[in-house]
Amino acid sequence: MRHQHGSTKFEFAVTVAIFGVLATLLLARLNAIQAEAERTEVDLTVRNIRVGIQLAIGERIMRGEEERLGEVAQASPVDFLGHRPRGFSEGRVAEAEGQWAWDPVRRELSYLPRLPVAFGDARELRWRYVARVDASGKTVGASLVGLN
C-alpha cells in the first residue's frame, strides 16, 4: 500500500473554504467598525460644536455682555469648534464624501458621509444654526438643530 505525503485536494479545498469564510467575517466586521468610527466622529464633532456655542454664550453672560449674544448667533458654528473639521469648506456645499460644509445663507452645516449605511443610508446630514430670541426679539442664545 502506498503512503501519501502531504494533503489531498479535498483537504486543500476545505482549508480554502475555511479561510474564505474567515475573510468574509473579518471584512464584515471591519466595515462595521468603520461605520461606527464615522458615526462617532460625526457625533463628537457636533457635540463639540454645541459645547463651544454654550461656552461662548456663557462667557458673554458671565462678563455681563448679554448684548453681544447676537454675535454668537451670527457666527459660523464651526468657529466654536476650535479647529476646522477634516475636509471643511465654508460658503459652499459639501462636494465629496467625508466633507463638512457651512452654508451661511441657509445657516446650515452639512456633512456627506463616507459610509452612508452608517447613517441609515442618508446621503447628507444637515444641521441648522438658529438664534433663540425672547419675546422682545432680543437674542438670548443659539443652538445647532439636526434636520435629519
User: Which grid cell is 30?
Assistant: 471591519
User: How high is the pLDDT of residue 89?
Assistant: 84
Question: Quick check: is 75 in a domain?
Answer: yes
H/E run at residue 9: helix 9-62
As a whole number of angstroms, the distance between CA 121 and CA 51 comes to 27
User: How high is the pLDDT of residue 94?
Assistant: 79
Question: Quick check: is 136 in a domain?
Answer: yes
Question: Quick check: is 3 in a domain?
Answer: no
pTM of the model: 0.82
Name the one residue in this structure whose C-alpha cell is 446650515: 108
Question: Quick check: is 128 in a domain?
Answer: yes
Burial class (CB in 10 A: 0-12, 13-18, 19+), 127: buried
User: Which grid cell is 147?
Assistant: 434636520
Bridge partners, residue 125, by sequence: 111
Question: Quick check: is 52 in a domain?
Answer: yes
Torsion of CA 138, 143, 147, 148, to 10 degrees: -160
Q: For the chain, how many structural domains are there in total?
A: 1
User: How high is the pLDDT of residue 95?
Assistant: 82
User: How high is the pLDDT of residue 127?
Assistant: 96
Question: Quick check: is 4 in a domain?
Answer: no
Print the domain residue range for 84. Answer: 9-146
pLDDT along the chain (148 residues), means of 10: 72 93 95 96 96 96 93 93 86 84 94 94 96 92 94
